[in-house]
Amino acid sequence: MAPFVPRTADMRTLDSSPISSDRPAGRRRTPRIGIGGLGYVGLATALGFAEKGLTVTGYDLVDRLRQDLRSGRTNLAEPGVNGLLRRVVGLGRLQIVDSWQSIADDSEVIFLCLPTPRRANGSIDLRPIVRGAQELGKALRSVRGYRLVVVKSTVVPGTTEKTIRPILEKSSGHDARWLGVAANPEFLAEGTMLRDVLRPERIVVGVSAQKDARVLANVYRRFRAPRIVLSPRGAELVKYASNAFLASRVAFTNEISRIAEREGVDVDRVMRAVGLDSRIGRRYLSAGPGFGGSCFEKDVRALVQEVERMRLHPRILEAIVPSNADQTRHAFDLIQSAVGPLRGRTIALLGLSFKAGTDDVRESRALPIVRWAVGKGAQIRLHDPRARANFQRLLGASRARGVNRVRFLPSPIEAVSGADVAVIQAAWPDYLGFPRAWVRKMRRPVVVDLRRALPPSVTSRGDLVCVRLGDGTSQPALRRLA
């Protein structure tokens, strides 16, 4: 028989017959879903399927997390998640179980949603997913009937086939007749998790057997999105290529923003014109202090590591992270130009999360800004509507020197009181009015807007000097100040 060659296809055109053969012919039954790992991605996946009417069983190693989820509680700061969780748990569509065995027994399609954290050299740490695959494999030993294990975690190309499949086969004692292995990356962004999971822009699956493509077509048949069927390696590469491309767009825009400042023009207006070209598109063209978050830098580094291992020299990919670091240093320069020497100055830093709308502080540019400012002898006053506790922990763990000069304030007006400059690092709506009362509390009425988030009604008010990153037209204001 000719080997199955995956290709780009609309999975709806593929036969979506049930996986178990004990069903009456002609009736299409949606397979029962198992989710291993109920962190951000696992929970989103579980909620997405449960909301679409599938029966989902979820397991996570952490007892406390299981207990909370079972009673319909999560501390994820994502709009709509708590309500949906309570509903699907209440309806019995999502069941939280206490072992891999229950997942293996009850579910026909099992998604591995385990973390793949970054190691010091930039590569990914496969230990959590390897352990999960071993446990699941052991649990599958006693199971009769075909099971499809789907890797949803972000893993470098080849991992599903070269690492996960052999582990599953060895620990379960099953071969490809009883065990399918596939890749199916997610594209969730924080703050829009439910929208992204319920209305994905595309569904990408990587399979090595046509049967598995059919199973996944059936699993996703209630989702309306273009479907792309590739090999597991192809699907894994789609995830890395997507994140690296988005990160490179932001880094590129940031480089243009530095040019725009020198040229005395506004990067927003330039990039809006650039993005009107339908070949380019308008999104991910906003300049800022450098991208943050748990994915962009981690994924770009992992891809670079992987490609270098192949002795290819990916010049563009290699430039993304250093270019991003340059932009953060550029943000330092902008703050410095607004206040002069930092020793003895007070900086109010508004917004500590890596972007507005989340309490996540991973790779937030707020940390390098705080470290730099306290290192230069400044006092720093911090505010964030949601990320304060996470940032406090991050700062503690970073062992930054001079943290005695850092204060967390409960409101923006208290944060800006006595400040020589207010720096907007994340564009929370709370900051965008920047009322006159705040300006009156400041020692000097200067704002450095790293997100260009303040509207013209504020920046043109006349009671404050606003320096906008990437906006060369805003910088003469600084000279007037001097």
- Active site residues per annotation: 295
Nearest-approach distance from CB 119 to ligand UDX, in angstroms: 19
Nearest-approach distance from CB 288 to ligand UDX, in angstroms: 4
Q: Is 133 in the site for ligand UDX (CB under 6 A)?
A: no
Range list of H helices, 107-219 = 127-140, 159, 165-172, 193-198, 210-219
The pattern of x and - marking residues 159 through 188 that bind ligand UDX according to CB under 6 A reads: ----------------------------xx
Q: Which long-range contacts (CB under 8 A, 24 or more apart) does 399-402 make?
A: 400/367, 400/370, 400/371, 400/374, 400/375, 401/374, 401/375, 402/374, 402/375, 402/377
Q: How far apart are CA 207 and CA 142, in angstroms?
A: 25
Q: How far apart are CA 110 and CA 117, in angstroms?
A: 21
Nearest-approach distance from CB 89 to ligand UDX, in angstroms: 25
Smaller CB separation from ligand UDX, 30 or 286? 286
Q: Is 391 in the site for ligand UDX (CB under 6 A)?
A: no
Q: Is 243 in the site for ligand UDX (CB under 6 A)?
A: yes
- Total binding residues for ligand UDX by CB under 6 A? 18
Nearest-approach distance from CB 134 to ligand UDX, in angstroms: 26
Alpha-carbon distances, residue 62 vs 37, 98, 143 (angstroms)? 9, 10, 24
- Give the other-Cβ count within 10 Å of 66's Cβ: 17
Smaller CB separation from ligand UDX, 285 or 373? 285
Q: Is 285 in the site for ligand UDX (CB under 6 A)?
A: yes
Q: What's at 182, amino acid-wise?
A: A
User: Considering only residues 292, 351, 412, 470, which one is a binding residue for ligand UDX as defined by CB under 6 A?
Assistant: 292
Q: Is 291 in the site for ligand UDX (CB under 6 A)?
A: yes
Smaller CB separation from ligand UDX, 358 or 474? 358
Smaller CB separation from ligand UDX, 206 or 288? 288
- Token pair, residue 5, equals 């060659």
Helix (H) or strand (E) holding 57: strand 56-59
User: Considering only residues 103, 124, 139, 295, which one is a binding residue for ligand UDX as defined by CB under 6 A?
Assistant: 295
Nearest-approach distance from CB 194 to ligand UDX, in angstroms: 13
Site residues (CB under 6 A) for ligand UDX, limited to 245-284 = 246, 250, 284
Site residues (CB under 6 A) for ligand UDX, limited to 326-365 = 354-355
Smaller CB separation from ligand UDX, 206 or 292? 292
Nearest-approach distance from CB 424 to ligand UDX, in angstroms: 12
Site residues (CB under 6 A) for ligand UDX, limited to 22-51 = none
Q: How far apart are CA 214 and CA 218, in angstroms?
A: 6
Q: Is 293 in the site for ligand UDX (CB under 6 A)?
A: yes
Helix (H) or strand (E) holding 380: strand 379-383
Residue written as token pair 């891809």: 303
Q: Is 205 in the site for ligand UDX (CB under 6 A)?
A: no
Q: Is 218 in the site for ligand UDX (CB under 6 A)?
A: no
- Token pair, residue 141, equals 């030993």
Burial of residue 362, with CB atoms counted within 10 A of its CB: 0-12 exposed, 13-18 middle, 19 or more buried: middle
- Token pair, residue 232, equals 């597991």
Q: Is 111 in the site for ligand UDX (CB under 6 A)?
A: no
Smaller CB separation from ligand UDX, 103 or 238? 238
Find residue 179's DSSP bridge partners: 147
E strands, 208-333, are 227-230
Q: How far apart are CA 282 and CA 222, in angstroms?
A: 29
Nearest-approach distance from CB 77 to ligand UDX, in angstroms: 12
Q: How far apart are CA 145 and CA 105, in angstroms?
A: 10
Q: Is 474 in the site for ligand UDX (CB under 6 A)?
A: no
- Max CA distance (Å), the chain: 82
**Site residues, ligand UDX (CB under 6 A):** 187-190, 243, 246, 250, 284-286, 288, 291-293, 295-296, 354-355
